[in-house]
Structures are given as C-alpha cells and as structure tokens.
Amino acid sequence: MKKTTVINTELSSLIAGMGHMDWMAIGDAGMPVPMGTKKIDLAVTKQLPSFIDVLKNVLAEMEVQRIYLADEIKTENPEQLKAILELLPNVEVTYVPHTELKQDLSQTHGFVRTGEMTPFSNIILESGVTF
C-alpha cells in the first residue's frame, strides 16, 4: 500500500506523471472544465474536501515553481488568497483574469475538483524540478 500522503489513485498518477513546467489545476465545485481535460472529481458534498485541504495534500508530493490565480481572488476571496500564499511563500504568482484562467485549463494535464464553495478558489500549478 502507498505510504505517502496522496492516496487517491488518479491524483497520485497525475502528480507522478508531471514533468518540469507541466500544469495541473485544483478548483472549486463550480469551475467549468473544458471538454478533453482530465477531471479528477474529489467532491463529496459542499466544502468536502476543501480547496485548501486538497492543495496541501498535492503540495506534499509536488514541486511547484509558479502558480496562476484569478485577479478576482484579491477582492472576492482575500482569505483564500492569504491561505494559498501562506502555503506557497517562495513561489512566483501570476494573476490573470478569471476568464483566462478558465481557458488555460485546457492546457493542464488535469483538473482536480473539490467540494469548495467559495468564489475564485481555483489555481493552476506549474511543476518545478527537485534537482
């Protein structure tokens, strides 16, 4: 049995398959996922699992060099922004309009849907290297 933190088979496989500069996304329950983009649906009910809990779990196994967030998170969900930045203090942040972030999902290796019910709780993670 797997010993490390990510035990969801699909999520673990997605992370293991990431190369340098590849993208994966984690988002709230309402984020529209483009057809053709792999979706790993972890949502059970409202707020379960939360966006932050899933992000913490992924970060335990994935090296991240840059993140992409919607501009709108700054004004519409500053608490979530603060929590994200606390988890990734030394990672470069790029803010884009939410409409662009939604379009960029088609370039990710996968999207992880959480049960999060707060606005703009979406992130694209750009994979770094561990050497």
Report the catalytic residues. Answer: 20
Q: Are 87 and 56 in contact (CB under 8 A)?
A: yes
Contact call for residues 104 and 23 (beta carbons, < 8 A): yes
Phi, psi of 52 (to 5 degrees): -65, -40
Q: Which tokens belong to 2?
A: 């797997």
